[in-house]
Structure 1
């Protein structure tokens, strides 16, 4: 077999990259930009993508990219794909390592990754190159593998160049203490109670689910959440704060399950993730903490929705 070369993207590679995605995923890949070579070139020219390729003499056999908004100090390691003819050579790992080696020179402080759960390879690769799994995004996107169930995603996070994103130094509830203490050992803690800039309340529908972003929970908002249709599948992102234990109790009373953390869009702070309603499925996840979050979610989803109770018990 011809020796593979790992190198940065060139404008002449755009058609080869698009062909690679078509050969591996057909028409099912969730990012439509990869089907337009002009978009691939445009993103790389504008700096929104930093693509790295594995090539032989004839074609592109591997691709990964750091994707970010401009300007931004964080990026997502994404668009990772390897042709079946080149699998087994740790190409995805090599591409990810090369991109992370460039991240400091690009002015990045952190990188995230969305790990698919249809197979374990992305999860193992992410761990090898320094990502830590922080949260679960259940039924997140249509399956790129043409499966009937949507793909559940594991969020991973990696700090660059000595930067930090600490968690609040607070007592954690017993139900998730081991997991959150693990993340504290990785990302550190802080005692500063200064609040983040205000995040506007948001709700958006994404196909089968509703995504809600919340900065602060209060009694009135909890009552409104309680009144949402029971059949809605809801993913909520709530700013991780000193009130986490109370928020966890309140949202659990409304039928939500805690599914971990993900970084906020700013340079610091975390979202706590909560989910209500999920497709029944069995997953074997690489990270034991993510496996426990998945098992808890499945167990709670099989139980009856929360029964009516006095409103004052929400807070």
Structure 2
């Protein structure tokens, strides 16, 4: 943990950042005492981007606010798989008053509503739970190695406990994909991994009917109209699912340039996989992908397969 940077402490005239506002309502307002150590959550829909500040209560005001002396801050910028990150400016400390101008140990003062502050014990425990969830999420977005169904169950439970419905859905979809490969989180040949892909994709499409905005975000990223990002964890998992399927189908294509000659898969079985993906990216044909519906993509894929060519997955 590092002290607040000079740059951060000098940010002034800006309202409290959106990340702090997201934390409001996470806990009912507690009673605080002067001198008590407190935790200021700066949480995001994707816990990978979470941040927080630590400090002490300097004054308790009658209007429901607290004056805090903050001496440590952690933001979500630069977070890695191991959960580390580095300090940067903004959010909860915007407009804060500089108390100590020591560049190695700056201390700032800030006034916040009590429902934007948590007891140190509860806040730090909640942050750690979200941090552990983000590690599982990042692991799946990476190699996915060792993300067994049991580990997904733990991640799903944590996401439910901290109230992140999109992360719950993201981890449920990750579990569906891993279980469909029959490898329990470890690499298996594409010829095996894709055997149950079609019904898995149908289940994913049904799951996503409750999250059309996340699918739209993923579609924009896949279509190249929006840079890839992880602000929406569910959208990022949809993009990851596409990457996995594309790689697996590519492995089958290496076995034979002609999809009609691939061992273990008929043209109809391959078409079911492609159609399943098109259902995912159109939310079961309820919103178009690049101005086209499932029938368009299915017919295009069927023609390519019957002509002995591998279709594009998007």
Structure with the greater alpha carbon radius of gyration: 2
Structure with a larger share of its residues in helix: 2
Q: Same fold (TM over 0.5)?
A: no
TM-score of the superposed pair, with normalisation by structure 2: 0.28
Structure with a larger share of its residues in strand: 1
- Relative contact order, CA 8 A, sep 6+: which one is greater? 2
TM-score of the superposed pair, with normalisation by structure 1: 0.28
